[in-house]
Amino acid sequence: MDLTYREVEVRDFDACGVLLQDREHYSGEALAALPEIWGQWLVSGALNAAVMELREGSAEPEIIQFGMSVFVTNQFLVEARIAGTPHLGVRLISRVLAGRSPVLDLAAIRAANSGDGLNLFVSHSGFLRRDWTPEQSLLIAGRAPESFFWLHQGYNFREMLLEYYDVMLVQLCLAAGFRLREGSGDSSPQIVGITREEAATNPGTYVSKLFHSPAPRFFFSYGEQKVLLQALLGRNDEEIAALLDVALSTVKKRWVAIYDCVNDQLPEMLPEMPPEAIPPSRLSLQKRGQEKRRHLLAYLRQHPEELRPSVPRNGLK
């Protein structure tokens, strides 16, 4: 099976809605509102979301699994954990529609990520029901933790809470180090979670690695981070400009600001112009630009904290 995952886009919302694991528990009003709510979260920087696609021959890729998470207030997470009642995603959307959203906005995410830590809640997920063989089901489910880690590494976490209706996904969560929460019986759905303190008691588990994120050193702006995230996915400047809905000149200006920031904080990271290229030709400048980008992206793959919202030490950026 040719399976790949990527960040969610607005065009994916209809397919995600069809796959939604707890779809039957939403009112018609709530279901109709979901794409708009997801879109608002996505545009505002509040949503973390990925889709998994199956590619078969020359056919268009098909979304077969998705996951969405948001950061929520301490009160909402504590209430959800203590109550142990099912359908947490439904309850979240009900509060949003009632004007009492517990979802953090970008400013609150930035402050919590630089402070005591964030509460992660996997609000919506889904899996395509088909006559998969046991081997195919295991392969698909096995890629879910991989995409979860890719989507959330680099944050300063305080606690995580997830709710799943699929027994296999629950078992994968438990194997990764999550714990079954009180009130989750043998029936579906089941709530799993983990706190920073619980992760510290079992540091060898897969999920515990997400609780060890150092503070960033560059403090790139939100716009600069968006450019870098797309570049890490292999997109060129023209594609980045189209996806972010900005001018190509804006993308290039952000690259200049990114390199200026890196040169200020860690000048030895970026390669110097070789002596034989001075005075620089257009070709040598282009090659140096490619090398600079390669070195920087290699560093960011090892330091995802640089791509997460944070409050700069001087509070200016």
3-state per-residue secondary structure call for 183-195? CCCCCCCEEEEEE
Q: What is the mean pLDDT of the chain?
A: 88
Using one digit for the tens of pLDDT, what is the confidence trace for 154-165?
Answer: 999 999 999 988
Confidence class for position 248, pLDDT limits 50, 70, 90: very high
Q: Which residue has the tokens 């063989």?
A: 133
What mean pLDDT comes out for the span 12-27?
Answer: 94
Q: Which residue has the higher pLDDT, 287 or 244?
A: 244
- 124: its two tokens: 């919506």
Could you give the percent of the chain with pLDDT greater than 70?
91
Confidence class for position 184, pLDDT limits 50, 70, 90: low
- 263: its two tokens: 């040169």
pLDDT over threshold 90, residue 80: no
Report the pLDDT value the prediction gives residue 165, as an integer from 0 to 100. 87
Task: Give backbone dihedrals phi and psi of 47, rounded to 5 degrees, phi first.
Answer: -105, 135
What mean pLDDT comes out for the span 88-110?
Answer: 95
pLDDT over threshold 90, residue 178: yes
Q: 62-72 and 48-55: which strand pairing?
A: antiparallel
Report the pLDDT value the prediction gives residue 82, as an integer from 0 to 100. 76
List the CATH code of the domain at 2-211.
3.40.630.30
Report the pLDDT value the prediction gives residue 37, as an integer from 0 to 100. 97
Write the CB contacts of 51 (distance below 8 Å, at least 6 apart in sequence). Answer: 5, 6, 8, 12, 15, 16, 63, 65, 66
287, with CB counted inside 10 A (0-12, 13-18, 19+), is middle
Report the pLDDT value the prediction gives residue 57, as an integer from 0 to 100. 82
* Residue ranges covered by each domain of the chain: 2-211, 222-307
pLDDT over threshold 80, residue 188: no
Could you give the percent of the chain with pLDDT greater than 90?
58
DSSP 246-293: --HHHHHHHHHHHHHHHHHH-GGGSPPPPGGG-SPPHHHHHHHHHHHH
Report the pLDDT value the prediction gives residue 274, as an integer from 0 to 100. 54
Report the pLDDT value the prediction gives residue 11, as an integer from 0 to 100. 93
Choose among 165, 157, 256: nearest CA to 208: 157
Confidence class for position 59, pLDDT limits 50, 70, 90: confident
